[in-house]
Amino acid sequence: MKKTWWKDSTVYQIYPRSFNDSNGDGIGDINGIIEKLDYLKDLGIDVIWLSPVYKSPNDDNGYDISDYKKIMDEFGTMEDWERLLDEMHQRGLKLIMDLVVNHSSDEHPWFQESRKSKDNPYRDYFIWRPGKDGAEPNNWESCFSGSAWQYDEATGEYYLHLFSKKQPDLNWENPKLREEVYDMMKFWLDKGIDGFRMDVINFISKVPGLPEAHNPSGKTYAWGGDYFMNGPRIHEYMQEMNKEVLSHYDVMTVGEMPGVDTEEAALYTADERDELNMVFQFEHVDLDAGPGGKWDLKPLELKDLKATFTKWQKGLEGKGWNSLYLNNHDQPRMVSRFGNDKEYRVESAKMLATFLHMMQGTPYVYQGEEIGMTNVQFETIEEYQDIETLNMYHEKVIDGGEDPGQVMESIYVKGRDNARTPIQWDDSENAGFTEGTPWLKVNPNYKEINAKQAVEDPVSVYHYYKKLIQLRKENEIIVYGSYDLILEDHPQIYAYTRTLGDEKLVVILNFSGDRPVFEMPEHVAYEAHELLINNYEVDDQEQIQSIELKPYEARVYRLK
Ligand code: NOJ
């Protein structure tokens, strides 16, 4: 397997709005990030993925871009951004930027032009269609509820928006649009950035004719993903982008790809195909969703988690490369979702980190994860800010008459604002995030859970992450070793081995609050063992043939 810096790296994601506010306006900013670079360097991460900082009216917090080459006023200036890059590079940290080119903002000059007339030179930068029988061109549903089409008075046609109506989809069929995107990518790469995370990049090629979505339940609008996820020209576009842009720089790329399976991911990430380095797949974060989708809550089964991770570990081995994540700015906090954020918050946060960081692939840490931040529950819908959440609430409760209590329950479990509450830096007012009024309320548990406490406490989640990140740097087997699931059918224990040449690790994880017994399978042979990392005190000399595990216990042994 080819070794590269981005395989060896640990990535840290910053969602700038919620990270650190340096000027008291209640919104995180670039200078706020610079203030915390030493904290991040100390954690040991190698790369920062910065969620969008471009000019934006913030309908979707920067994922709606009105100027790809300017910095959002709330976040600072281009000079601030250049200083950030410089300060990062001085510390040996790399920067990857978010590339949001499935759609722009409706306030982008391209769209402003495009909507003016049918023969405007920018008309074909977007996807316009006439209505059908007095209604939308097709029945596709937006990812943020309602129709994916918006009628526009000026020309009497509809434009496609797979996300909010302020996020019109760009038309990748148009070579001029692709040129503009590639030029813009070069603009940032020439400033010295180290790569891109690409927003829903597998949505950019739509099936010609934009066919009606299957709609077995007869709803007004239905999921049209079959006609735009991994569409007919997607690999052609990725290869063109690679050839025109990426191949000229030493960068890392990761494409966000809902609806991608292992075979497809191998096509995107195989070295010899010259497309991307990694994808963010969604299968493991869809396991706790029922047939009604994300908001249809379903308990997570450990056997499903095992099957999914194992499929990805084995499926890309030697063929592509995995990105490893358990949460980000769109997903609930991992300790609340997969662990126990009450009596075993610290233990389960460490166990989940072990689970992920010991796998093959590049691990991603989402801001606040390293101190074990949790989900939040605001009492009223008015306290929420996320457009996906608010649109869904409107559709279900205001328009649909559903029980508001039940809908709030689903927001508590799945809402994106769970991950977007401001970072809890210390126990002072507003958790030290801002001296003003935070744009989204701080999680009230900040007095107990905050970075200052975590840095000072040698057995905190933070110090555990430091150790995990360090171990990866010191042991090639953690990066490159092959993965094998053991105890496949155990209902509470997730265990696996990693093998590289004649080296072997065993990773033992209790995913429950009980005390199940781990039995080493016979085929895992060893004469001696050495403890690499553990989240409870353990006697290193203890036999490991059979171990009664404590709640959410995690241990990693090197077998000799
Ligand atoms: C995925 C991003 O991660 C999410 O935050 C955003 O809302 C959508 N893409 C649309 O850009």
pLDDT in tens, 203-231: 999 999 999 999 998 999 999 999 999 99
Q: Tokens 């988690």 correspond to what residue?
A: 305
Residues 437 and 463 reside in one and the same domain: yes
Q: Is residue 512 part of a domain?
A: yes
Q: How many CB atoms lie within 10 A of CB 156?
A: 10
Pairing of β 47-50 and β 289-290 = unpaired
**Which of 142, 141, 159 minimizes the C-alpha distance to 150?**
159
Residues 96 and 121 reside in one and the same domain: no
- Say how far apart CA 161 and CA 144 lie, in whole Å: 10
Lay out the sheet containing 157-160: strands in order across: 128-129, 157-160, 149-152
Residues 438 and 350 reside in one and the same domain: yes
Mean pLDDT of 364-373: 99
d(CA 496, ligand 1 centre) in Å = 33
Q: Tokens 């009497």 correspond to what residue?
A: 156
At residue 465 the predicted structure's pLDDT band, cuts being 50, 70 and 90, is very high
Mean pLDDT of 537-550: 95
**Is 199 close to ligand 1, i.e. is its CB under 6 Å away?**
yes
Question: Which residue has the CA at smallest separation from atom 11 of ligand 1?
Answer: 63
Q: Is residue 392 part of a domain?
A: no
Q: What is the pLDDT, as a whole number, of residue 1?
A: 80
DSSP 80-131: HHHHHHHHHHHTT-EEEEEE--SB--TTSHHHHHHTT-TT-TTGGGB-EE--
| Neighbour-count burial of 493, counting CB atoms closer than 10 A to its CB (0-12 exposed, 13-18 middle, 19+ buried) | buried
**Is 200 close to ligand 1, i.e. is its CB under 6 Å away?**
yes
- Ligand 1 atom with the smallest distance to the CA of 103 is 11
Q: What is the pLDDT, as a whole number, of residue 379?
A: 98
d(CA 312, ligand 1 centre) in Å = 23
Pairing of β 128-129 and β 54-55 = unpaired
Mean pLDDT of 52-69: 98
pLDDT more than 70, % of the chain = 100
Find the CATH number of the domain harbouring 462.
3.20.20.80
Residues 43 and 58 reside in one and the same domain: yes
At residue 511 the predicted structure's pLDDT band, cuts being 50, 70 and 90, is very high
The answer to whether 546 touches 524, Cβ cutoff 8 Å, is no
Among the residues of 339-426, which ranges form H helices?
345-357, 387-393, 404-414
Q: Is residue 359 part of a domain?
A: yes
Mean pLDDT of 62-69: 98
Residues 56 and 147 reside in one and the same domain: no
Q: Is residue 337 part of a domain?
A: no
Q: Is the pLDDT of residue 197 over 90?
A: yes
Residues 43 and 75 reside in one and the same domain: yes
- Say how far apart CA 221 and CA 333 lie, in whole Å: 30
- Say how far apart CA 433 and CA 192 lie, in whole Å: 29
**Which of 127, 97, 121 minimizes the C-alpha distance to 109?**
121
Q: What is the pLDDT, as a whole number, of residue 541?
A: 85
**Is 100 close to ligand 1, i.e. is its CB under 6 Å away?**
yes
* Ligand 1 site-directed mutation target among 15, 163, 196, most atoms within 8 Å of CB: 163
**Is 198 close to ligand 1, i.e. is its CB under 6 Å away?**
no
- Say how far apart CA 118 and CA 139 lie, in whole Å: 23
Can you state the percent helix, strand and coil of the chain, rounding each to 5? 35, 20, 45
DSSP 285: G
DSSP 37-61: HHHHHHHT--EEEEPP-EE---TTT
Question: Which residue has the CA at smallest separation from atom 2 of ligand 1?
Answer: 199
d(CA 506, ligand 1 centre) in Å = 36
- Ligand 1 atom with the smallest distance to the CA of 60 is 7
Domain boundary (119, 139, 160) is at: 160
pLDDT in tens, 329-354: 999 999 999 999 999 999 999 999 99
**Is 163 close to ligand 1, i.e. is its CB under 6 Å away?**
yes
Structural domains in the chain (count): 3
Find the CATH number of the domain harbouring 119.
3.90.400.10
Residues 495 and 454 reside in one and the same domain: no
Phi and psi, residue 323, nearest 5°:
-100, 140
**Which of 206, 100, 111 minimizes the C-alpha distance to 152?**
111
Q: What is the Cα Rg of the chain in Å?
A: 24
Pairing of β 157-160 and β 289-290 = unpaired
What is the torsion angle, in degrees rounded to the nearest 10, for the CA atoms of residue 119, residue 120, residue 126 and residue 129?
A: -30
- Say how far apart CA 347 and CA 334 lie, in whole Å: 13
Between 302-316 and 262-269, two packed helices, what is the crossing angle to 10 degrees?
40
Residues 454 and 507 reside in one and the same domain: no
d(CA 328, ligand 1 centre) in Å = 11
At residue 42 the predicted structure's pLDDT band, cuts being 50, 70 and 90, is very high
- Say how far apart CA 472 and CA 556 lie, in whole Å: 12
Q: Is the pLDDT of residue 516 over 90?
A: yes
- Say how far apart CA 230 and CA 365 lie, in whole Å: 26
Mean pLDDT of 45-70: 98
Residues 447 and 488 reside in one and the same domain: no
Q: Is residue 2 part of a domain?
A: no
Q: How many CB atoms lie within 10 A of CB 242?
A: 16
Pairing of β 47-50 and β 554-559 = unpaired
Q: Is residue 444 part of a domain?
A: yes
**Is 60 close to ligand 1, i.e. is its CB under 6 Å away?**
yes
Q: Is residue 347 part of a domain?
A: yes
- Ligand 1 atom with the smallest distance to the CA of 51 is 3
DSSP 162: S
Find the CATH number of the domain harbouring 491.
2.60.40.1180
Q: What is the pLDDT, as a whole number, of residue 327?
A: 98
DSSP 309: H
Q: Is the pLDDT of residue 550 over 90?
A: yes
- Say how far apart CA 308 and CA 475 lie, in whole Å: 25
Grouping H, G, I as helix, E, B as strand and the rest as coil, residue 159 is strand
DSSP 62-84: TSS-SEEEEE-GGG--HHHHHHH
Q: Is the pLDDT of residue 481 over 90?
A: yes
d(CA 14, ligand 1 centre) in Å = 14
Q: 487 lies in which domain range? A: 481-559
Question: Which residue has the CA at smallest separation from atom 8 of ligand 1?
Answer: 63
**Is 63 close to ligand 1, i.e. is its CB under 6 Å away?**
yes
Q: What is the pLDDT, as a whole number, of residue 378?
A: 98
- Say how far apart CA 535 and CA 510 lie, in whole Å: 11
Residues 153 and 74 reside in one and the same domain: no
pLDDT in tens, 227-238: 999 999 999 999
The answer to whether 351 touches 510, Cβ cutoff 8 Å, is yes
Q: Tell me the two tokens of residue 548.
A: 């009664």
Residues 528 and 431 reside in one and the same domain: no
Mean pLDDT of 60-83: 98
Q: Is the pLDDT of residue 382 over 90?
A: yes
Phi and psi, residue 464, nearest 5°:
-65, -45
**Which residues carry out catalysis?**
199, 256
Q: Is the pLDDT of residue 290 over 90?
A: yes
Q: Is residue 81 part of a domain?
A: yes
Domain boundary (143, 160, 177) is at: 160
Residues 497 and 508 reside in one and the same domain: yes
